[in-house]
Chain A
Amino acid sequence: MTLYHLITLSAILFVIGLFGVITRRNVIGILMSIELMFNAANINFAAFNKFLYADSPLGQLMVILKSEIRNSKSETNSNNNNSKFKTI
């Protein structure tokens, strides 16, 4: 397991999420695909932090801050879709 494997895995996950964002019909489905893309970015952050800058866990801190932003986003979106569950 090297950095190359991890980056390749996250690229594949990102592309799967992108396909979902383009082609899903539901708002909730698009939201889940965006979650997949965020996960790919998280793997990249943690992998670069581990393999290139292992002396301070700044990348992991960025993952945590980003996950809080993600939480607030998904709360807003879910409550927003609660009233009108759209179909595109």
Chain B
Amino acid sequence: MIKTYVFYLLSLITIFSSLGVVLCRNLFYSALSLGVSLIGVGGIFAMIKADFLFGAQILIYVGGILVLMLFVILLAGRAKDLIMKQVNEQWPGAILVCMAVLWSMWRISSRFAGVLQRTHEEAGTTKEIARLMLTDYAVPFELTSILIIAALVGAVLFVKRGYNK
């Protein structure tokens, strides 16, 4: 019973802070509420016993990506970005598109309304993730590291081209 309350609390926190990300005028505040939203999603990961994902969510997203975005906003932002109205004139059409997408997603997801948990396995899954990552899925794991190196080199190239102009 208390699990249900915790789930609804986490969902409300996540949804309202996501609305804050989208609707805040100040870009700094919306980055901070993105952090709250990421923490809420991490809490939901912890509730469905994905403990490694919980740790990775807190460490990588809240500690890494969010700090990166705050750096970009504070170093490269202009003062106009902190007070300007952040929603452009397309918002009525955007609301229509979002309602259509939400309705179709709800139609799809209502098929899973009666699905209960089929298998019961309550042990932590970190060991099994590591085993899969080092045996069966070693090639995709290494390919992502190549992708990260390519992204670093690409970022340096972009910045360099911007300076040469």
Contact = CB atoms under 8 A, between A and B. Distances in A.
A29 B30 contact: yes
Given A43-B41, A78-B72, A83-B76, 8 more contacts: A1-B47, A23-B91, A28-B69, A36-B18, A53-B119, A55-B119, A60-B53, A68-B148
A53 to B, nearest CB: 8
B95 A6 contact: no
B65 A35 contact: yes
Nearest to A39: B41
Chain B binding surface SS class: helix
B102 interface: yes
Interface residues of B, number: 90
Interface of B: 3-4, 7, 11, 14-15, 18-19, 21-22, 27, 30-31, 34, 37-38, 41, 44-45, 47-50, 52-53, 56, 60-61, 64-65, 68-69, 71-73, 75-78, 80-81, 84-88, 90-91, 93-95, 97-98, 101-102, 105-106, 109-110, 112-113, 115-121, 125, 128-129, 132-133, 137, 140-141, 144-145, 147-148, 150-152, 154-156, 158-159, 162-163
B7 to A, nearest CB: 4
Contacts of B18: 13, 16-17, 36
A86 to B, nearest CB: 10
B69 A78 contact: yes
